[in-house]
Amino acid sequence: MTVRIQASLFWSDAGVVDDPSAVSFAKLMRLASHDDHGGRLLSEWFHRFATTPHSERALPAQFIDDVARAQGADPSSWDLARLPFVVTGLHNRIDLAELEAMGHCGEFRVSVASTDPTLQPFHMLFLFRQPLAPDDTVSGRVTCEGTARRWARLSTLSGQALEDALRQAFAERLTREQFLMVETVEQSLSPWEWRQWVKAPSATALPFVLENPPLFQQLDVERLNAPGALRTDFLSWMASNAALAEARRLPLPERFRPQSIRAASGVPRQALSLAGLEAQVLTLHPLLRQQLEVVGCAACHTTDADFVQTRADRTISPFYAKELEARARHLEALARGEAPTAPFGPLQAMPLLPP
Ligand code: HEC
């Protein structure tokens, strides 16, 4: 079966993304929150941008203070549908399936952009887990083939039948139980910045707020490049893991990862320095630095993309267009029960690498 991207992998047509009964920013905040509204969580979250020790950004907090002036001091009474955020796309990330151990079938994601003239550019990505279904395990082995077959089957439908099936698929994916986290990429203040936001215990009246964990697979280039104990630790760890790292199969430990990363427009990004690593390791693994960089937020969003992958006008980066082709072939293989496993970072066979 041939997977069609616009039926099984990525949806950005107005009929879907502008239909609040299917998806909306207000609905996403409802699902992320404990109170089925999300106003209070949103207020805490946007204020948090200004107080995290690793980076302080005032604009999201100012934006939410303006909302309070317009809609009242109690965030739980705000009408979140009136806020200037548009859904830019729905993304099937079954390629992130974890087939080892008792894993999962990847993620379902919704991207959202600000249309506010001041809070700009400002993009969010809401992540939901795709859990294992009973037919995703065959003879005790996780394959995700049941879930893959259901996504792939959408490619055989069209018209009203496809619309109805999509509506049901989205409703199954967008639930409070499956909500994982939010990611942001924004330039409310120069330079651009990436963060992840996960539920964390709270000192406020809320049961949880959103906080920044160490960024997934993003190295803390600035701190690692500086001489000292962390750099020594990193280089000796790299010396014994270079092959896996160059193949993009190596999970990067938290101690080497920052809670936010930045890259400026028009200025070359600071490259990771591997100086001091044995010459033999560098000769054996000539693409080690670039492969280590491209699994992180900043390099992947700037190498074959202009900081953003799904733009506010719902067009996509060159990187994402090629990635979708690779994801289509990957979904077909999953649906055939072949249990292919993806590396970290790009799925496409020959991604453009950072300079
Ligand atoms: C391998 C490349 C790659 C890496 C690494 C990566 N992203 Fe993305 N990002 C994408 C693609 C492609 C999309 C489109 C949605 C999708 O495919 O999940 C995206 C979408 C986004 C969006 C929605 C706005 C947009 O640009 O479309 C945000 C926010 C985001 N990513 C944040 C992050 C953060 C934070 C990290 C690091 C923890 C990160 N990304 C790592 C490729 C990447």
322 CB under 6 A from ligand 1?
no
Mutational pocket test of ligand 1: of 248, 301, 348, the residue with most ligand atoms within 8 Å of the beta carbon: 301
Same domain, 285 and 152: no
Same domain, 104 and 240: no
Q: How many domains does the chain have?
A: 2
pLDDT tens profile 36-77:
999 999 999 999 999 999 999 999 999 999 999 999 999 999
- CB-based burial of residue 329 (10 Å sphere; 0-12 exposed, 13-18 middle, 19+ buried)? middle
317: pLDDT strictly greater than 90: yes
0.85 exceeded by pTM: yes
Measured distance CA(106)–CA(89) in Å, rounded? 17
Phi then psi for residue 88, to 5 deg, are -105, -20
The reply to whether 346 falls in a domain is: no
92 CB under 6 A from ligand 1?
no
260 CB under 6 A from ligand 1?
no
Confidence of residue 102 (pLDDT cuts 50, 70, 90): confident
Ligand 1 centroid, distance to 281 Cα (angstroms) = 30
Mutational pocket test of ligand 1: of 9, 94, 125, the residue with most ligand atoms within 8 Å of the beta carbon: 125
Ligand 1 centroid, distance to 183 Cα (angstroms) = 8
Same domain, 225 and 207: no
Same domain, 65 and 121: yes
Q: What angle separates helix 39-48 from helix 25-32, to the nearest 10 degrees?
A: 90
1: pLDDT strictly greater than 90: no
Phi-psi region of 155 (alpha: psi -120 to 50; beta: other; left: phi over 0): alpha
Same domain, 66 and 107: yes
The reply to whether 125 falls in a domain is: yes
The reply to whether 347 falls in a domain is: no
- Say if residues 259 and 215 touch (Cβ distance below 8 Å): yes
pLDDT tens profile 226-248:
999 999 999 999 999 999 999 99
Same domain, 141 and 167: yes
The reply to whether 340 falls in a domain is: no
The whole-number average pLDDT for the span 17-30 is 97
Q: What is the distance of C-alpha 80 from the center of its chain?
A: 23
What is the pLDDT at residue 100? Answer: 87
Mutational pocket test of ligand 1: of 87, 92, 297, the residue with most ligand atoms within 8 Å of the beta carbon: 297
Looking from the CA of residue 185, the nearest atom of ligand 1 is 29
Same domain, 112 and 154: yes
The residue type at 179:
F
Same domain, 226 and 279: yes
pLDDT tens profile 162-185:
999 999 999 999 999 999 999 999
Mutational pocket test of ligand 1: of 88, 124, 183, 352, the residue with most ligand atoms within 8 Å of the beta carbon: 183
Residues 6+ apart with CB under 8 A from 279: none
Q: Tokens at residue 162, please?
A: 């496809």
Phi then psi for residue 209, to 5 deg, are -125, 180
The reply to whether 21 falls in a domain is: yes
The reply to whether 138 falls in a domain is: yes
Q: Where are the beta strands (DSSP E) in 65-129?
A: 85-93, 107-114, 122-129
Same domain, 185 and 250: no
Instruction: Give the angle 201-122-263 at the CA atoms, nearest 5°.
Output: 90
Whether the bond into 201 is cis, omega within 30 of 0: no
Same domain, 136 and 73: yes
pLDDT tens profile 256-274:
999 999 999 999 999 999 9
Looking from the CA of residue 308, the nearest atom of ligand 1 is 26
Ligand 1 centroid, distance to 280 Cα (angstroms) = 34
Q: How many CB atoms lie within 10 A of CB 314?
A: 17
Measured distance CA(22)–CA(322) in Å, rounded? 27
Of residues 314, 315, 339, the one with CA closest to residue 137: 339
Same domain, 202 and 228: no
Same domain, 67 and 155: yes
101: pLDDT strictly greater than 90: no
The whole-number average pLDDT for the span 291-320 is 98
The reply to whether 351 falls in a domain is: no
3-state secondary structure of 335: helix
- What is the largest distance, in Å, between two alpha-carbon atoms of the chain? 64
- Say if residues 145 and 337 touch (Cβ distance below 8 Å): yes
The reply to whether 141 falls in a domain is: yes
Measured distance CA(101)–CA(18) in Å, rounded? 38
Tell me which residue range forms the domain holding 92.
5-213+306-335
